[in-house]
Structure 1
Amino acid sequence: MVAEETIIEVDNLTFRYDLRKVEHTLSAISFSIKQGEWVAIVGGNGSGKSTLVRLLVGLLEAELGTITIDGVRLNEETKWEIRKKIGLVFQNPENQFIGTTVQDDVAFGLENNNVGYEEMKQRVDEALRFVDMDKYWDQDPSRLSGGQKQRVAIAGILAFKPHVIILDEAFVMLDPKSRKQLLSTLKKLREENNITIITVTHDMNEAACADRIVVMDQGAIIQDSTPEHVFMNNEQLSSPFAEQLRRKLGENGSNVPQSYMTEDEMVKWLCK
């Protein structure tokens, strides 16, 4: 169940990489996200998705507008406090690895924040168990598979006990099996810990798992709605596999429902 409290509030956010140019990378972006909500941000290359993420975690500074995280206005003085509440997982997990073993890598950020040994050990153990990587605690992260590396990267974020996790194209290098396992992990994470999840993705099957999809184009939000509404009303976006199958079955004369179907709904309908 999504809580009522707003965890992220973005108001009139505007940004340019080059202030000498008229064109903005982001133009007056406004939206809010509730605690426990899963939001997917989609759009073509250059639409502003990754720029928005970097602004949310304070890696870039907005030209205009405000970002408020858990009631705290993001600025130069508060960004370090806010970063304790938001975890960012990149496309290539190796960019985040510091330690020589899985356990050391997950513990690295906690050590830098002076977390006591007993508490740190407990948090690391819990995080690795949650992502099913506790059996690999003493292994070299560089020798893991792509899916395992992303699990370790997520464990490193979970050990901080964040309110929000942002995944910036984090599944793009994974095989279908690893992608499905990580999506299952994220669903479990949200259900058990009420963590807010933001995924930036080109994969519409991944986006379909979210509560909301924010569609961006040329630095602006052009849609912000449920997967059902977005995929039924945006012909520019490729639909997830289940929706493509529903449409194809309808074209071939099957008595398939006329409304959008999730993967689970399609499976249930096919098994009737």
Structure 2
Amino acid sequence: MKPTAILEVKDLTFRYDLRKEEKTLSAVSFSADPGEWIAVVGDNGSGKSTLSRLLVGLIDPEHGTIKIDGCVLGEQSKWSLRQQVGIVFQNPENQFIGTTVQDDVAFGLENVNIPFQEMKERVEAALKLVDMLELRDKDPSQLSGGQKQRVAIAGILALQPKLILLDEAFVMLDPQSRRGLFSVLQNLRKKQGITIISITHDRNEAALADRIIVMEQGELIQVDKPSSVFAKQEKLDAPFAEQLRRNLKSCGRNVPETYMTEDELVEWLCK
């Protein structure tokens, strides 16, 4: 039996200036299941970040509905629903409140009245997941950009949301930190059923998702598996493995005709 969608978006439409006909988002519809990872890609101005702000109730749609765990997001429900949704922005400075790393991670838990002992356990577990436990007493302003982003992600993980929105959240991370956090989030969604919506320009990141949403000038033009999206959307830069396959093919090498993931390409090259 297909699981009940944790997120349902229907006919979402938005304009920043109601005096103009041009829409930032136009009739966008999609859903996300528990434990699913969806990447949202598109050029600048395609509506990606506007979509993320709508999904957490920072702005209100002109038309359309957003349902989170079966409940319609609106003025009366947004405060309770925000406890089920966490968002991590590109710039972690926007999310720091506490004077130490652990205080900052605990801030959201204090707002929802989590008991002290449970709060302490959640903060420690979240910092351990992002490899920041040893820096728990540090002033966040003294951290590197990548470390700040890991603390911001820990603050969201401590809240144990059902849905996490990553708005270009890995841009400031070095490749090793990025791979580590990908692994953490993949395990969390598999073990705890956390749904992840990733707004990204990184095609290699998008290729790891279960499905990709392609946005263009405020419209959703395709929702499909990475293999189908990169096969059809020629304007999108392909992930590294697919670029290599195409280059090998253009050089006259006998390579498979279809899209390949990095693991699939490595396996084929080792044969």
Specify if TM > 0.5.
yes
Could you say which residue in structure 2 is the equivalent of 1:202? 201
Within-5 A mapping of 1:37-116? 37-116=36-115
Secondary structure of 1:245's match?
Answer: helix
The residue identity in structure 2 corresponding to 1:73 is: V
Aligned residue number for residue 262 of structure 1: 261
Task: Give the equivalent residue in structure 1 for 2:245.
Answer: 246
**Which residue is equivalent to 1:216?**
215
Residue 154 of structure 1 corresponds to 153
User: How does the TM-score come out when normalised to structure 2?
Assistant: 0.96
Going from structure 1 to structure 2, the CA distance change for 1:119 and 1:91 (only over 3 Å counts) comes to same
Question: Contact 1:3 / 1:35 at 8 angstroms: preserved in 2?
Answer: no
Q: Paired residue for 1:117?
A: 116
> Displacement, 1:3?
6.7
TM-score by length of 1: 0.96
Residue type of the partner of 2:202?
D
Deviations 1:199-254 (A, max 9, x none): 00111001001000000011110011000000011111000000000111112222
Task: Give the structure 2 partner of residue 234 of structure 1.
Answer: 233
Displaced runs of 4 or more, over 6 A:
none
Secondary structure (helix, strand or coil) at the match of 1:6 reads coil
Distance between the aligned counterparts of 1:3 and 1:135, measured in 2? Answer: 42
* Structure 1 partner of 2:143: 144
Q: Percent identity?
A: 65
Match for 1:101: what amino acid? T
Query: Is the Cα–Cα contact under 8 Å of residues 89 and 153 in structure 1 kept in the other structure?
Result: yes
Q: What corresponds to 1:30 in structure 2?
A: 29
Check 1:71–1:173 CA distance in 2 against 1; reply closer, same or farther (3 A cut): same
* Aligned equivalents of 2:263, 2:127: Cα separation in 1: 28
RMSD: 1.4
The answer to which of 236-245 and 106-115 deviates more is 106-115
* Structure 1 letter corresponding to 2:49: S
- Between the aligned partners of 2:79 and 2:2, the Cα distance in structure 1 is 25
Matched letter for residue 78 of structure 2: K
Q: How does 1:8-27 map to 2 (within 5 A)?
A: 8-27=7-26
* Gaps in structure 1 of 5+ consecutive residues: none
Q: Which runs of 5+ in 2 are unaligned?
A: none
Residue in 1 that maps onto 2:180 = 181
